[in-house]
Amino acid sequence: MDEERDALLQIKDSINSPEGTAFSSWYGEDCCQWEGVQCNASTTRVSSIFFNFRRDASLLENWYPNATLFAQFKDLEILHLRGNQIAGFTSPEELHSLKRLQQLNLQNNSIENASHLCWGKGALPSLYYLNLSDNNLQGFIPECLCDSLLLKQLILFDNHLHGKISPCLSNMTALQYLDLSNNQFSDSLSTFPFHNLPSIDTLILSKNKFRGKFSFSIFANLSKLSHLEISYNPYLELETESRTCFPSIKLIELSLAGCNLRKLPRFLSSQNNLKTLDLSDNLLEGNIPSWLMHNATLQLWVRGNNLSGPFPKTFGNISSRLTSLDISDNSFYGPLLEDIHLIFPELLYLSASDNGFNGGIPPSFGRLKRLQSLDLSGNKLHGEIQYLLTSNMSCLQYLYLSDNNLRGDALPRNLSFSKLEVILLRNNDFTGNLLDRLPWSLLQSPALPQLRVLSLHGDHLEGHIPHWLCRMRHLRVLDLSRNNLSGHIPDCFDNITSWSDFSHGQYWSVLDLSSNRLTGSIPVQITQLKALIVLNLSHNKLFGELSPELTKLTRLEELDVSHNKLFGELCPEFTNLTFLAIFNVSFNNLSGTIPVGYQFGTFDASSYIGNPGLCGNPLSRNRGVVVEKPPKSNGNVLLSNMATTNHLLFPCILFLPVVNLVYLGGLISTSF
């Protein structure tokens, strides 16, 4: 239709105002073929519009689309305008023409005043899905939103709504999914008539400021309620001892994390259909009752409490169907389960970190055939681990064993872990030669073709850094700091393609060899590692002259080569490293003038002290001080730059949340 094509072209002009470039691929007369547009096959009229994240982010002004233009699409059923800096519609009442509109998604925009969305009573009679999440909505829920009485899904999370939940929402009797999380609601939950929402299936009220006493009895008549989240409402007083029966409630997913619970709610004992239960970050004490291990059939999270006792078991050691178990950050103690593969045979994710477990890691852990993530860090485990990684664990992706007292000989060779991405073995006692002891035999290529993160910080390792590490082409983070390594830095690190490939820019790229006994010069090949974010070679015995080639590492945010024996000058081109947040060349034998400009104006004297020949701001020395250059070595040209990396665990945090979210997504994902 000509009027629809003309309306689309006007919307294009509007979304690009004043100088955007969206929809540059639009050409031809048939607008049904244009990007983001779908048409009804029989009528050839526009039926769906998906204009998500199309407004150029460099356009600082908010966008106020004219609702009159969208009113031209009489057969429009789906309108998605996510992430376009929309602050509201002009002439919003014109949307009443969209009698067939079923879905309206305005997520991730800049709407503050919801009155811009008031399209009139009785308008949009077919609308069943409305998403206004991640905007800047202020104040109370506007009553005009309640005019859409046939709404089934209303999503308002990540706004600035406060006060009480508008009573008019209770008139939306068709509502099945309501998400008010991450706002600032502060009234009592008991004042809202939830019983007027007989169709509600999913209710998400987490991360607000609800106050007062709260009893689960307010949901007693909601027979269809299966997914309930009230997490992180620290001012709520949850009633846990009520003996009231809830025969009509059969929850499948329940999240009560961060609610200051000191006791388990009594009604949980009758919830036999629970697939997911999250009780994390509360004040629970004592043992986990065996019935709880039985009632939560898929995922159970109790991290961050004061729970104690031996490793939890099911009643009578009956096999559990749990796929995800998180008991981390509690006070559990004693040995790990000797028969864990029989009690929890379906586990995909297990975290028991930061407890008081002792003894060795039983061989039964190596028989968890489906396990993808294992975190036993922060305990008192000791002994060898050669029985842990067996051919049965071919699904393992994440292994966290840091901060224990583990030691031992080489792991079995000729094993294949094609999916293992992260190994954290920091702060253990793998004393011995780097080539012969625990970590390195495992790393023989092609055992770990997908390895992304390897941290062996503080493991008392000795010997040289083996060259075959350079075969780990996907490696993003290598932390060998605080060991007793000696010899030269390998000159083959440029073979690790991920360190020179920008296509994985969403991950940290880190090389930390600090606090060892490394000698020689910094290989020139390190200047090819253009994807590096952090380079730390500090506290070694490196010798040589700084090279201007180091300035090729333009993505560096942290560069630390302090406490070595480096000499030469800091060339002015170092100021091209405009992302530097940490820069330290202190306690070397550098000379000349400190570069001026850009980030170098932010570094204080501690970045340069201990170099008698350096002068200029922020040091107080005058120019012209001469320092005797040590003779150049025959090794490679020395490059040095690094950044102090606080234990360097930050990149690994990028991975465990991914694991958590993968399984969390299963329970909390009622996403549309």
Least confident of 84-98, 139-153, 496-510: 496-510
Say yes or no to pLDDT of 391 above 50: yes
Q: Is-contact 541 517, C-beta < 8 A? A: yes
Q: Residue 506 — pLDDT band, cuts 50, 70, 90?
A: low
Instruction: Say what the pLDDT of residue 505 is.
Output: 52
Q: Is the peptide bond before 18 cis (omega within 30 degrees of 0)?
A: yes
Burial of 549-570, coded b for 16+ CB within 10 Å and e otherwise, reads: ebbbbebbbbbbbbbbebbbbb
Closest CA to 181 of 159, 157, 160: 157
The Cα 645–Cα 369 span in angstroms is 35
205's tokens: 């009220």
Mean local confidence (pLDDT), 334-347? 94
Cα–Cα distances in Å, from 178 out to 146, 274, 325? 13, 20, 28
CB atoms within 10 A of CB 490: 18
- Residue 333: its pLDDT value, please? 96
In the prediction, which pLDDT does 644 show?
39
Residue 195: φ, ψ to 5°: -65, -15
Q: Which of these, 292, 259, 254, lies nearest to 276 by C-alpha position?
A: 254
| Three-state secondary-structure class, residue 646 | coil
**Helical spans, DSSP H, in 498-641:** none
Please name the fold of domain 39-64+75-174.
3.80.10
Which residues have a Cβ under 8 Å from the Cβ of 489 and sit 6 or more positions away? 465, 513, 518, 520, 522, 523, 526, 537, 542
Question: pLDDT per residue over 563-587, tens digit each?
Answer: 999 999 999 999 999 999 999 999 9
| pLDDT at residue 639, rounded to an integer | 38
The neighbouring-strand residues paired with 582 are 558
pLDDT at 662: 35
Digit-coded pLDDT (tens) for 92-126? 888 888 999 999 999 999 999 877 777 777 678 89
Would you tell me how many other CB atoms lie within 10 Å of the CB of residue 642? 29
Residue pair 599/623 in contact (Cβ under 8 Å)? The answer is no
The pLDDT assigned to 640 comes to: 38
- Per-residue b/e over 253-263, b at no fewer than 16 CB within 10 Å? bbbbbbbebee
Nearest residue to 349 via CA among 368, 329, 330: 368
Alpha helices in 397-443 (DSSP H): 438-442
Which residue matches tokens 């480096």? 566
- What pLDDT is stored for residue 80 in this prediction? 98
Q: What pLDDT does 507 receive? A: 67
- Does the pLDDT of residue 645 top 90, yes or no? no
Measured between alpha carbons, how far is 573 from 231 in angstroms, rounded to an integer? Answer: 51
SS (H, E, C) 284-304: CEECCCHHHHHHCCCEEECCC
Decide: 639 and 524 in contact? Cβ < 8 Å: yes
Copy the structure tokens of residue 346: 């379906």
For 530, the 3-state DSSP assignment is coil
Tell me the average pLDDT across 271-300.
93
Regarding predicted confidence, which is higher, 186 or 243?
Answer: 186
pLDDT digits over 178-192, tens only? 999 999 999 899 889
Alpha-carbon distance of 515 to 467, in angstroms, equals 20
DSSP codes of every residue in 258-291: TS--SS--GGGGG-TT-SEEE--SS--EEPPPHH
Q: What is the strand order of the sheet 356-359 is part of?
A: 285-286, 306-309, 331-335, 356-359, 380-383, 405-406
> How confident is the model over 604-626, as a mean pLDDT?
80
* Beta-bridge mates of residue 350: 325, 374
pLDDT value at residue 485: 93
Statement: the pTM of the whole predicted model exceeds 0.75? yes
Number of H helices, E strands in the chain: 7, 42
Per residue in 360-381, pLDDT tens?
A: 999 899 899 999 999 999 999 9
Classify burial at 438, counting beta carbons within 10 Å of its beta carbon; exposed 0-12, middle 13-18, buried 19 or more. buried
